[in-house]
Amino acid sequence: MAAWATLPTLSYRVNPKSVMGNWVMSNWFKLVLTGFLLLVSLGVSCLGAKTIDSTPGLGSVAVRALPPQGQETYRLIYLGGPFPFDKDGVVFGNRERLLPMAKRGYYREYTVKTPGSWNRGTRRIVCGGPATMPDVCYYSADHYANFRQIVP
């Protein structure tokens, strides 16, 4: 059955079934598209696509390629200190989620001195695992914006 809609100067006939059918198809398409984009953003393999790397952009750096202050900080980590800053060795929360996920307390951060800086500067080493025998360490020259895994 047809319904009539009247505007001040126009009259036209609307079929309620076709309006409802268009609405259902439009929303069904949006739902499917949203689900697909969600799966892709979470890194789930879909339609043969490769999964997204969980720690993108992590390169590596050799200990000998670190700045001299970084090499000294790395050495102090394995000796258990003493460290020049009070905040050295505190828990690193990984709020940026750039490092592999781990339980709270797994990562600890250490300051790499910056020559000429009046504060702690932006350079850090973050290590995961036991305090004096870490499983893995990462170097950040830009206050956690980027990390590189430290390799022997």
What confidence tens digit (pLDDT) does each residue in 30-76 have? 655 565 554 444 443 334 333 333 345 589 999 999 999 999 999 99
Grade residue 16 by pLDDT with cuts at 50, 70 and 90.
low
Whether residue 123 lies inside any domain: the answer is: yes
Whether residue 52 lies inside any domain: the answer is: no
Please tell me whether residues 71 and 17 are part of one structural domain: no
Please tell me whether residues 147 and 85 are part of one structural domain: yes
Domain total of the chain: 2
Whether residue 48 lies inside any domain: the answer is: no
Please tell me whether residues 84 and 118 are part of one structural domain: yes
Q: Do the strands 124-128 and 136-140 form a parallel or antiparallel pair, or are they unpaired?
A: antiparallel
Whether residue 49 lies inside any domain: the answer is: no
- Active-site option among 21, 80, 143, 145: 143
CA atoms of 152 and 109, how far apart (whole Å): 19
Please tell me whether residues 69 and 122 are part of one structural domain: yes
Please tell me whether residues 63 and 124 are part of one structural domain: yes
Please tell me whether residues 86 and 123 are part of one structural domain: yes
Q: Is residue 72 annotated as part of the catalytic site, yes or no?
A: no
- Active-site option among 73, 88, 99, 109: 109
- pTM for this one? 0.63
For the cut 90, the answer to whether the pLDDT of residue 23 exceeds it is no
For the cut 60, the answer to whether the pLDDT of residue 28 exceeds it is no
Start-to-end CA distance of the chain, whole Å, equals: 79
- DSSP 8-state symbol, 36: H
Domain that holds residue 30: 3-41
Please tell me whether residues 17 and 83 are part of one structural domain: no
Whether residue 80 lies inside any domain: the answer is: yes
Mean pLDDT of 133-147: 95
Q: Is residue 28 annotated as part of the catalytic site, yes or no?
A: no
- Model pLDDT, residue 39: 47
- Model pLDDT, residue 58: 82
Whether residue 132 lies inside any domain: the answer is: yes
- Residue 90, beta-bridge partner list: 109
- Model pLDDT, residue 52: 30
Grade residue 152 by pLDDT with cuts at 50, 70 and 90.
confident
Whether residue 81 lies inside any domain: the answer is: yes
Whether residue 113 lies inside any domain: the answer is: yes
Please tell me whether residues 20 and 82 are part of one structural domain: no
**Tokens 């050799």 -> residue:** 62
pLDDT tens-digit readout, 87-130: 999 999 999 899 999 999 999 999 999 999 999 999 999 999 99
Single-letter amino acid, residue 12: Y
